[in-house]
Structure formats: structure tokens, C-alpha cells
Amino acid sequence: MELQNAFRNAVEAAEKLPRRPSNEDLLKMYGLYKQATEGDISGDRPGGFDFKAIAKYDAWAEQKGKSKEEAMQTYINFIEKLQNEL
């Protein structure tokens, strides 16, 4: 329960970062968030020219195999790192 509260706090903190993170950082945040909340990705990778959907799919797929708890902790650590950098 403590980890989940810390994760929720990190999600809120991510929305209040002083500057917009880079696209690469945003994709990492997305992938970790999806892994933490939904687990491993399923379904086919988007095709065609929907580059945003492809990038988001790939970011989530990079986290495949991590437990939800591990993804939560990694997300928390990443947000703390961004807070110190931005």
C-alpha cells in the first residue's frame, strides 16, 4: 500500500514538473506508467504512419517483464530524477 501511495504521489508530481520533459522522457514515463498500472503489453504493434501510437507501444513494450511493483518503483525514481534535473 505504501508503494502505491508513493506511486500516486509521483504521478501527481509528474503533472507539476517545472518544465516539459523531453519526448524520450515522456515516452519512458508512459511505458513505466502503463506497466505499473496494467502489466505487460498485449496486442499487435500499430502499423502504418501512426508514429505516436508506435512510439507509445514501443515504450510500453520496453518495460515488458517487469512486475507492477518494480515498474512503480522505477517510475518513482525516474520522476525524482526529473524533478532534480528540470
CA distance 26 to 60: 11
Which DSSP category does 22 fall into?
A: P
pLDDT at 35: 99
Each residue's pLDDT tens digit, 27-39: 999 999 999 999 9
Fold of the domain spanning 2-85? Acyl-CoA Binding Protein (1.20.80)
Amino acid at 41: I
| pLDDT, average across residues 16-29 | 97
Q: Using alpha carbons only, what angle is made at residue 31 by residues 10 and 22, rounded to the nearest 5 degrees?
A: 75
Q: What angle do CA 21, 32, 71 make, to 5 degrees?
A: 135
pLDDT at 86 over 90: no
pLDDT tens readout for residues 60-81:
999 999 999 999 999 999 999 9
Mean pLDDT of the chain: 97
What number is the average pLDDT over the span 1-22? Answer: 96
Residue (of 35, 18, 37) closest to 79 by Cα position: 18
What percentage of the chain carries pLDDT values higher than 70? 100
Classify residue 79 as exposed, middle or buried by CB count within 10 Å of its CB (0-12, 13-18, 19+).
Answer: buried
